[in-house]
Structure 1
Amino acid sequence: MEEALRSKRSVIAALAVAFAALSGPSAAATAPGAGSGAGHQLDAEVGPLGVCLFHGHICGNVYNRDDRYNLLITDNWGKYRDRSTWHVLKPGQNGHDVGVKDVDGYWVGPGCKVKRSLGLRTVGPGWHKVRDGQKIQIVDIRC
């Protein structure tokens, strides 16, 4: 499999302020701290920033189909604790809607659970990896 480095790498400096303003009642409302280790799903399949299979054509994406809560995503699994990699998905949005070509993970806040449409799998708090080619639909967020 051939990999290509994604060229897009710009994040607005006010992301942390926007995140706080947009999160409102959100599964992402309790921002993941750098010291928090519980619930993180680390994976041996961690690659360099923005790497998608086949020259960026098979990337990961997350769709927020919940009708109440925002969802926090990262565009760099290797640096998911760095706020500059975070983006907020409002209900009805996906990674592409917020300028993220390759979503590498999503955050579930403390005390929350999300239901994914594929097999109706439920996952709990922490960061969850999104692999290349995965199209994850979050259909329900409960906090």
Structure 2
Amino acid sequence: MAKKNKRKWQNRSKQGNQQEKANQNTEGKNKTSDPRERVLPEIKLEDFTCSFCQKEIQDLPSALSDKTSGEPVHFDCVLEHLKESEEIGENEKLFYIGKGNFAIAYFENPHDLRKFEIRKLIEWENKEKESTWRNDISDLYSLVE
């Protein structure tokens, strides 16, 4: 039994050595020669500035549309704006619930976040209004499989 295990180990190490040799042989060669490897085009997104903080938006896919202009703004800036402008009571929290919507939820027990009641829905992004900057991102993501 021990001999079988030893033989398997030797076979594995031979395979590992063969792989190392193959890797060494391909070093310095053009890696695109393998038809299985695809070269993806460099993706360059348009630069946008957040209208709330006046800083450049680094992570455009996580941005939200500004309620008035439709231009991208930082998610965190929208969250801070809503915290300041909305009346959030005791045992209430502001949450992002998806698709450009936020909610203020009330918790009977603030230590148990499983039971809550949504007190107010806040529609931040207009569903009917299409954002061209978001369409551009969608088009770029379709290039990457």
Structure having greater relative contact order (Cα 8 Å, sep ≥ 6)? 1
Q: Which has the higher helix share?
A: 2
TM-based fold match above 0.5: no
**TM-score after normalising by structure 1:** 0.20
**Structure in which a larger fraction of residues adopt strand:** 1
